[in-house]
Amino acid sequence: MSSAWADGMGGAEVSDVIVVGGGVSGLTTALVLAERGLRVRVWSREPSAATASAVAGALWWPYRIEPAGPAGDWSLTSLRRYEELARRSEETGVRLVAGLHRGERLAALGPWAGRLKDLVEVADGLRARLPLIDMPVYLGWLERRLAAAGVAVERRAVTTFDEAAAEATTVVDCTGLGARELVRDAGMRPVRGQLVLVENPGIEEWFTEADSASEATTYYFPQPGRLILGGTAEVDNWSTVPDPDTAGEIVARCARIRPEIARARIIGHVAGLRPARDAGVRIEAEPLPGGGRLVHNYGHGGAGVTVAWGCAETAAQLVG
């Protein structure tokens, strides 16, 4: 196909794998499978620019994700990829940026933290130089890589995985919150995040401060052309409509850290839903009627970008 995106197919096309879901997990998994020589297609209900991935602040860090042990390993696998991609930041949207996790302590983190060469404990938290990903640019890069690998990304909603199984030997489930209905996984729940986009008043480093007991978090990420202010972590809130009062609170919290933010011109508001799962990330395979295989890769919580490559590699091993 001449474009990475295609409308619904007029006729069946046999593939090795159909990945259902066009967010960062689905696109990354499709690319890993294509790199292994498999014939891959992606079915997505919406363009990647309309997925929750597109509005992510996207600082690499295993945030709000379980199980902790595997998540650390998945994160490190992804980190190696992002460090490579940061060498071509204008093309990929991935940069290595310094910043502070206020209130964090090394002792509270898993073994993965000991593998970060630029992570240093200071009086008020942890300083690090980490991948910060401009998601619209990065998703575009993934789409171009898929197109170059011959992977068609088709706008297609599914109500059952049997539809994909009729056209591929293996189906990979990267549907995020959609798994709540598609596989009747009642443990899937949204964690709403609201952001404010402002003109950057000259801030070059990122900052985070999160209290796991509170729905309010404080962070800012300098991205090209804007400063992203956050945020919230509202469990079971399905609204993707930005709330004006919440936006004001976000700006106020960030301005307490950097007063110049209070005077920054607001250029946009967004809200997205993190796909959290009570039992943690699900990566496992099960048989489909007719001899096919369904491989699940969903439930990445607040760290979908952070673990994308690691989870994709693990899911690809189950595809075979």
- The tens digit of pLDDT for each residue in 236-250 reads 999 999 999 999 999
pLDDT in tens, 154-181: 999 999 999 999 999 999 999 999 999 9
pLDDT digits (tens, 9 = 90+) for 213-227: 789 999 999 999 999
User: For residue 77, is pLDDT > 90?
Assistant: yes
The whole-model pTM stands at 0.94
Residue range 281-310: mean pLDDT, rounded: 95
Place of tokens 């673990």: 307
pLDDT (mean) for 46-74: 93
Give the span between the Cα atoms of 292 and 172, in whole angstroms.
11
Number of Cβ within a 10 Å radius of residue 37? 9
Residue 6 pLDDT > 60:
no
Burial 128-151 (b: 16+ CB within 10 A, else e): bbbbbbbbbbbbbbbbebbbeeeb
Q: Tokens standing for 290?
A: 């007719």
Q: Which domains does the chain have, with CATH numbers?
A: 5-97+131-187+278-319 (3.40.50.720), 189-277 (3.30.9.10)
Residue 20: its H or E element: strand 15-20
